[in-house]
Homo-oligomer: A and B are copies of this chain.
Amino acid sequence: MIILSKLADYGVIVATQLAVGAEEAQMTASALAERTKLPRATVAKVLKTLAHAGIVTGARGAAGGYRLARPAGVISIAEVVAAIDGAMGLTQCTTHMPACERSSFCSTRPHWHRINQAVGTALAAVTLADMVSPFGNFAPQVPAASRESVTP
């Protein structure tokens, strides 16, 4: 059971690599592929998706490249993942809103919703700035509410 698709994983890695550089760092897709040791074409694809979601901005032309659209501290992992894999949901029920025909007697849904929120909160609580540090013990005092959340 893999929760994130490979592309979403790549997306986080690439975005983290962009956050490593200074705030205004601009890197080409090729340079990012080099740094992350990922296939160039795939990195380009991921970057395009992230640009479409407004997480990174692409500059065209000879001296072009990508950079983060916002400071790394306010971009949550949930955003990056949602940009690539779509909105998060545990089951088909949670995303495909027209309730399935089992909703009348299926007692599991409210519980799924609760777990769903737990996952969303966990993903929204970590930002790209946190990801940059190789140490897992980032500052735990920051309330999750202050971070941007994509859970509906």
Chain A interface residues (CB < 8 Å from chain B) = 1-6, 8-9, 12-13, 16, 36-37, 77, 81-82, 85-93, 95, 101-102, 106-108, 110-111, 113-115, 117-119, 121-123, 125-126, 130-138, 140, 142-146, 149-152
Contact = CB atoms under 8 A, between A and B. Distances in A.
A151 B139 CA distance: 9
Contacts of A133: 107
29 contacts: A1-B4, A1-B5, A1-B81, A1-B82, A1-B87, A1-B88, A1-B89, A2-B95, A3-B91, A9-B92, A9-B93, A12-B108, A13-B106, A13-B108, A16-B107, A36-B106, A37-B102, A107-B131, A107-B132, A107-B133, A111-B126, A111-B136, A115-B122, A118-B119, A118-B145, A118-B146, A137-B152, A140-B150, A143-B150
B126 A115 contact: yes
B150 A144 contact: yes
B117 A146 contact: yes
A89 B126 contact: no
Nearest to A142: B114
